[in-house]
Structure 1
């Protein structure tokens, strides 16, 4: 780095005012900073994702009065019924403020709770990667990853006491009974 200017050059001996010394110092500081900054910026790049379009598309495809895709296609794509999906979505919104609709840092409408839950469930149901949600839900990869993380935490908080516990003897009896109803002849000799 011998080519770079030192941070401080003393002013000419003919000019001894403190103002010119300070000015000269800052001029050199700016030149030094320009040499250090090779065109990269520490500022984040903003990409317009058109979140409203993503929400409108999602509504038109699955949740409007006359959706583009019927309930069978919904079940196939999300691996659950629409009723269960909406129950989970409302539970997320009630129990975690992150899933509530809010404004983003620029004061614009953020990603809707429906988009967030859709992102998380699509990732779980189909193995989609977070970056695949940009095209359909108009959501950044980072937001999509956060959706999955918050979804995990909130599901555990809401449903762990009832569903993520060891089965009781009554639960086991119900499971065996349901299994026998589905395939009674398979295990009978």
Structure 2
């Protein structure tokens, strides 16, 4: 039921919430969410739909990624996910850990690295255009 509500609200053709609602609540555009969902499903079998021991469908990939993003975006406590999404605290924590590990695996080489000279030049140019000419020198985040 939780999966059906999520799909009806945000993903099905006759969705309840607009693109702006989606962006506001999940802090990203729907197409970015869907691309992220595809990547985590391809890389980590944890995010593929399975059946539990009783033969019922387990949490959907959409549910797992949405719940993880809500915990990360809003600092939502894991016990609140049980009340709103029916996901236990231990499953929430497992899902968060699996998601973070997968994101590291997928994006580490591209985004989680020290900036190269091309990156720095692009950032300096962007900062100068916005009126912050010595932005890079003021940041000491590389240590």
TM superposition score category, shorter chain reference: 0.7 to 0.9
| Unaligned 5+ runs, structure 2 | 134-143
Post-superposition offset of 1:180: 2.9
Moved more, 66-75 or 91-100: 66-75
Question: 1:100 maps to which residue?
Answer: 48
Contact preservation (8 Å) 1:100, 1:112: yes
The correspondence for 2:90, drawn from 122, 136, 142, is 142
| Unaligned 5+ runs, structure 1 | 1-52
Partner deviation per Cα, 1:166-189 (whole Å, 9 max, x = no partner)? 1100011111222233x23x66xx
Question: 1:41 maps to which residue?
Answer: none
Question: 2:137 maps to which residue?
Answer: none
1:90 matched to 2:38? The reply is yes
Post-superposition offset of 1:114: 0.6
Question: 1:159 maps to which residue?
Answer: 107
Distance 2:126 2:6 in 1: 35
Alignment of 1:165-184 (within 5 A): 165-181=113-129, 183-184=130-131
Question: 2:77 maps to which residue?
Answer: 129
The answer to which structure has the higher helix fraction is: 2
Distance 1:56 1:179 in 2: 44
Post-superposition offset of 1:123: 0.6
